Amino acid sequence: MSLKDLVDAGKYLASLEYVEGREGNLSVRANGGFYVKATNAFMSDMTEQDYVFVDMDGRHQGERPPSSEYRMHLAIYRMAPWVNYVVHTHPVYSLSVAEATGRIDLLHSEAKIYFKKGVSVLPYIEPGTQELADAVALKVKDGYEAVLLRLHGLVTVGETLDVALMRTVSVEKSAKLFFFTSVLKR
């Protein structure tokens, strides 16, 4: 594990426009806790210094505070010991499709590789709260590798960073396929 890998992943997600500005966050389990994106950092411009260590009691080290969603990462790592990476993005097609239909269907064959149970869609819960953290972590504990947060974003998890990233890409690709298929059928 290297923080440079997270920096590169953040830049990749920004290049796909899955995050804009200060949106989203990434984390990796390490050293009895996890490293998570610092608050107010832009994924497109991050460096390794933009990651903050948080222990499993929720205490962070250093002068910069962690992302406001650090509770969600902490709850996932506590409830799902198989998870080593958490990716939280704000992909437009996934959010739009979930708002319009209440679900995300995995429509392309590659998506079947990355998911056992599909995508869980949660109702709107205030971002940055313990309520949201617990709701997402319970879905991950129940075996969901992707959780869509209505009017907010997408959370994917993985044993490896590549798998967590590909789960994000697969959900957004499925949402795009659904959107364009719906438009073309009219």
Residue 110 annotated in active site: no
Three state DSSP letters for the chain: CCHHHHHHHHHHHHHCCCCCCCCCEEEEEECCEEEEEECCCCHHHCCHHHEEEEECCCCECCCCCECCCHHHHHHHHHHCCCCCEEEEECCHHHHHHHHHHCCCCCCCCCHHHHCCCCEEEECCCCCCCHHHHHHHHHHHHCCCCEEEECCCEEEEEECCHHHHHHHHHHHHHHHHHHHHHHHHCC
Q: How far apart are CA 104 and CA 172, in angstroms?
A: 9
Catalytic residue among 69, 99, 131, 172: 69
φ and ψ of 51, to 5 deg: -110, 140
Cα dihedral value 54, 32, 147, 11, nearest 10: 60
Cite the active site residues. 69
